[in-house]
């Protein structure tokens, strides 16, 4: 044991992470800006040595990666376990530390209680993002019950005083709020059985003063697609830490002899130049480690989604007419949403019966698919595999396949129940019906995989909680479908953005960000989404003229400008388009195609929120081109707005600036738009001095393209 290192250090160009391994179990000593090799763990440990304080332990127990009762902690436990004897008081002695490059595995044993605890940390090569995952193995002969195992508890730097959190509701996801860290715990627990609209498993910790473009910050996101628990605590002695893990139901995980439980993965990242720099790190990580396509290998095709256009009103001729309308606009993928399968004339029936409804599609989907692909578009289709309507053949045949608990009435939710994916028969059925559709129609190349209710009674056939087993079974099912139909792409949807996380993104390709297509609301939703996720996975559609969710009437130019900065699509009845709107939409799609390589691979720079405008831009890695958006939301409180300060450019380079959107502007003083347009300015001038913005009507977006000359 004496041969174990006292400190473990992971370094790359973006960060240094040091673990203190002097005690029984490892803890995070430092994460942040890269340190020189002259600074080492021993030095930091010495600097942080504390005196014995009055009425306090001689030495405070550490906040280790997995704090245990065995350590005598007074922080929140990272492990809650119990059995017939004294398992609850497990305490681990590190017995091995295996480091290979940027990957380190800490192995701790409790010989007395026969448990093995492994925490694996991997620092990415090309970003500051590190992953943490803990696994507990029962090495004894008696079963033990596991109530909680965190992915990791990570101590925060001393200067961190604030957290940015993410919350919302259906059709208003990813709203951010900044809070002061306080003496005690900020805790969020999600029991919805999906990542949820209201409690996104992530937060950003930062010192007072950090803004979008300056200052340090530390981001944390748990890649968990269902129940989770997150905590940010300031302890009595002034230390603070964050802790993330899966939230388990009582008795949910029992480990028989030899069995293991692994936590979801916690992703941590560091940004040294504001929240935008942190987002860039997460985006880089996701682009190189998670996504299967990049901007070069396959540009994100423009979608047409039928949902807000026709809802359940399916009819082959109408759908063909819609395809005829949208193809000339530049649409590249046509997604047939809810309503195509047996008995699905409304949300009251049909879920579970995944065969084509012959009363609507007498010749099957073939004629529609051929029509769509004949117009040069890919064809995608909607499924909600995890659900069943009681009014369905599936439910009538297998009512016991739905998750339920005895003697407790279901909580009504969109007329549907959740299937028990821990039952292999259910998974086999779903695999078969989904792949049957895909095999019958090999031209289907895309699935929108939806999930539209909370899981309130996650009890399986044995009456045990099944939530923990549900998610790996889901991931496996998606993966099997993908393996059986190579190349098929899958969108993760959950009543909009209710299942947006890095757990599910490992198996999918795109998120439906929100059911709100209201461009103004979308600006904030997409902004919140962008803290962790890159724009190419952010489904963003141009909705109807009168938004179906908010009733707002927003001009086509604004709706299009907002959708252009995600993975763009259209979701409306295109028959409502006027000639002017048709032209604008076509031009917007052409414009999106001209810069999607940039927004889908470049660095995102968000400007600070002034509560008036939403401003951001994407700059290519080599800083040779950029695209910036200035979205005027409310009227300027001064007679004229302020100058727009660009960001992320190369000060030394010169850029030609072109206003590329909108083509025509209804405003008072069009003259000013022409002043700088097409002229060349230094990056320095654009960033330090800025460009005067015109007086705009609210609900107007300007897009500028910058090209280095």
Q: Give the footprint of ligand GLA on this chain (CB under 6 A).
A: 307, 337-338, 382, 450, 452, 493, 495-496, 512, 515
Q: What share of the chain is helix, strand, coil (3-state, %, to 5)?
A: 25, 30, 45
Pick the closest to residue 537 from 514, 504, 571, 512 (CA basis). Answer: 512
> Tokens 């080599």 identify what position?
622
> Minimum distance from CB of 495 to ligand GLA (Å)?
4
The residue (of 249 and 311) whose beta carbon lies closer to ligand GLA is 311
Write the secondary structure of 308-328 as one string of H (helix), E (strand) and C (coil): HHHCCCCCHHHHHHHHHHHHH
Nearest-angstrom CA–CA distance, 262 and 513? 28
**Nearest by Cα to 251 from 108, 511, 458:** 458
C-alpha distance across the termini of the chain, in Å: 61
CA distances from 265 to 8, 119, 150, 151, 494 (A): 20, 11, 9, 6, 21
State the minimum distance, in angstroms, from the CB of residue 437 to ligand GLA.
Answer: 17
CB neighbours (10 Å) of residue 552?
Answer: 14
The 3-state secondary structure of 375-440, one letter per residue: CCCEEEEEECCCEECCCCHHHHHCHHHECCCCCCCCCCCCCCEEECCCCHHHHHHHHHHHHHHHHH
515 is catalytic: yes
Three-state DSSP class for residue 70: helix
For the bound state, the minimum distance from the C-beta of residue 515 to ligand GLA, rounded and expressed in Å, comes to: 5
CB closest to ligand GLA, residue no = 338
Instruction: Tell me the closest approach of the beta carbon of residue 539 to ligand GLA, in angstroms.
Output: 9
CB of 510 to ligand GLA, least distance (A): 12
- Tokens standing for residue 499: 């299942």
Q: Which is nearer to ligand GLA, 132 or 512 (CB)?
A: 512
Q: For residue 501, give both structure tokens.
A: 């996380």
* Torsion angle defined by CA atoms of residues 209, 213, 215 and 217, in that order, rounded to the nearest 10 degrees: 100
Q: What is the nearest approach in angstroms of ligand GLA to the Cβ of residue 424?
A: 27
For residues 459 and 496, which CB has a smaller minimum distance to ligand GLA in the complex? 496
Give the residue with the Cβ less far from ligand GLA, 164 or 567.
567
Whose Cβ is closer to ligand GLA: residue 382's or residue 595's? Answer: 382
The tally of CA atoms less than 13 A away on the side-chain side of residue 423 is: 23
Residue closest to 321 by CA, chosen among 357, 358, 371: 371
Closest approach, Cβ 307 to ligand GLA, in A, equals 4
* Rounded-to-integer distance, Cα 284 and Cα 534, Å: 8
In the complex, least distance from residue 9 CB atom to ligand GLA, rounded to whole angstroms:
45
The answer to whether residues 221 and 201 touch, using CB atoms and an 8 Å cutoff, is yes
Catalytic residue chosen out of the listed positions 20, 353, 420, 515: 515
Sign for the CA dihedral angle at 572, 577, 582, 585 comes to negative
Q: Mapping DSSP to helix (H, G, I), strand (E, B) and coil, where does residue 556 land?
A: helix
- Catalytic residue selected from 110, 124, 420, 450: 450
**Residue 65 or 336: which CB sits closer to ligand GLA?**
336
How far, CA to CA in Å, does 217 sit from each of 29, 71, 174, 214, 653?
16, 29, 18, 9, 28
Q: Which residue has the tokens 């290998």?
A: 297
Nearer to ligand GLA, 91 or 352 (CB): 352
Q: Which is nearer to ligand GLA, 337 or 454 (CB)?
A: 337
Catalytic annotation present for 450: yes
- Residue placing its CB nearer to ligand GLA in the complex, 307 or 595: 307
Question: What's the burial of 44, exposed, middle or buried (CB within 10 Å: 0-12/13-18/19+)?
Answer: middle
Q: How far is the CB of 491 from ligand GLA (least distance, A)?
A: 10
Of 338 and 353, which CB lies nearer to ligand GLA in the complex structure? 338
Peptide bond just before 227 cis, omega within 30 deg: no
d(CA 302, CA 542): 11
Query: Minimal distance in Å, beta carbon 380 to ligand GLA?
Result: 11
Which residues lie below 8 Å from residue 24, measured CB to CB, with a gap of 6+?
64, 71, 91, 92, 93, 94, 108
Which are the catalytic amino acids? 450, 515
């Amino acid at each position: 044991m004496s041969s174990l290192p006292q400190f473990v250090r992971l370094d790359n160009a973006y960060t240094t992470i040091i673990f203190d391994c002097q005690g029984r179990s490892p803890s995070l000593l430092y994460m942040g800006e890269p340190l020189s090799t002259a600074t080492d763990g021993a030095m930091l440990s010495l600097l942080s040595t504390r005196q014995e304080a009055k009425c306090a332990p001689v030495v405070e127990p550490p906040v280790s990666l997995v704090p245990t009762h065995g350590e005598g902690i007074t922080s929140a436990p990272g492990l809650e376990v119990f059995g017939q004897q004294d398992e609850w008081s497990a305490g681990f002695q590190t017995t091995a530390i295996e480091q290979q490059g940027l990957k380190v595995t800490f192995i701790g044993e409790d010989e007395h209680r026969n448990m093995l605890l492994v925490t694996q940390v991997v620092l990415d090569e090309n970003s500051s993002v590190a992953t943490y995952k803990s696994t507990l193995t029962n090495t004894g002969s008696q079963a033990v019950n596991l109530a909680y195992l965190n992915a990791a508890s990570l101590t925060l730097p001393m200067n961190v005083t604030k957290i940015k959190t993410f919350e919302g509701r259906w059709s208003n996801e990813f709203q951010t709020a900044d809070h002061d860290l306080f003496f005690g715990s900020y805790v969020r627990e999600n029991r919805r059985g999906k990542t949820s609209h209201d409690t996104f498993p992530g937060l950003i910790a930062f010192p007072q003063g950090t803004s979008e473009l300056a200052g340090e910050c530390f981001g944390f996101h748990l890649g968990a697609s269902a129940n989770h628990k997150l905590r940010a605590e300031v302890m009595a002695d002034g230390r603070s830490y964050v802790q993330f893990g899966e939230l388990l139901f009582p008795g949910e995980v029992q480990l028989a002899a030899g069995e293991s439980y692994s936590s979801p993965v916690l992703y941590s990242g560091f940004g040294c130049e504001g929240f935008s720099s942190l987002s860039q790190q997460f985006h880089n990580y996701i682009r190189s480690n998670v996504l299967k396509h990049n901007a070069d290998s396959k540009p994100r095709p423009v979608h047409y989604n039928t949902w807000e256009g026709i809802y359940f009103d399916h009819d082959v001729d109408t759908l063909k007419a819609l395809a005829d309308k949208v193809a000339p606009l530049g649409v590249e993928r046509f997604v047939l949403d809810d309503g195509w399968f047996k008995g699905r004339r409304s949300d009251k029936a049909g879920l579970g019966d995944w065969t084509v409804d012959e009363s609507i599609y007498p010749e099957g989907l073939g004629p529609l698919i051929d029509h769509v692909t004949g117009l040069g578009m890919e064809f995608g289709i909607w499924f909600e595999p995890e659900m069943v309507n009681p009014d369905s053949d599936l439910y009538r045949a297998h009512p016991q396949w739905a998750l339920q608990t005895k003697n407790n009435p279901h909580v009504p939710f969109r007329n549907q129940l959740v299937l028990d994916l821990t039952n292999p028969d259910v998974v086999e059925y779903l695999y078969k019906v989904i792949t049957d559709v895909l095999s019958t129609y090999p031209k289907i190349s895309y699935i929108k995989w939806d999930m539209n209710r909370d899981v309130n009674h996650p009890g399986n056939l044995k009456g045990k909680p099944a939530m923990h087993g549900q998610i790996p079974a889901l991931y496996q099912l998606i993966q099997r479908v993908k393996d059986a139909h190579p190349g098929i792409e899958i969108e993760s949807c959950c009543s909009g953005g209710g299942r947006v996380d890095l757990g599910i993104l490992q198996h999918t390709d795109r998120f439906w960000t929100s059911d709100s297509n209201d461009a103004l609301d979308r600006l904030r939703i997409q902004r919140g989404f962008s803290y962790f996720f890159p724009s190419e996975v952010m489904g963003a559609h141009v909705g109807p003229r009168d938004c179906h969710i908010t009733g707002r009437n927003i001009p086509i130019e604004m709706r299009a400008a907002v959708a252009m900065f995600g993975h763009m699509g259209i979701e409306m009845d295109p028959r409502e388009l006027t000639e002017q709107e048709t032209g604008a939409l076509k031009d917007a799609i052409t414009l999106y195609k001209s810069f999607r390589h940039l927004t889908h691979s470049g660095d995102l720079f968000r400007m600070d929120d002034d509560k008036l405008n939403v401003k951001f831009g994407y700059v290519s890695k080599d800083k040779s081109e950029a695209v910036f958006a200035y979205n005027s939301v409310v009227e300027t409180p001064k007679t004229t707005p302020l100058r727009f300060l660009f960001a992320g450019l190369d000060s030394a380079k010169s850029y030609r600036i072109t206003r590329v959107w909108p083509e025509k502007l209804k405003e008072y003083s069009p003259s000013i738009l022409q002043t700088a347009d097409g002229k060349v300015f230094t990056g320095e001038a654009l960033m330090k001095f800025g460009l005067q913005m015109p007086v705009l009507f609210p609900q107007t977006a300007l897009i500028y393209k910058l090209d280095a000359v």
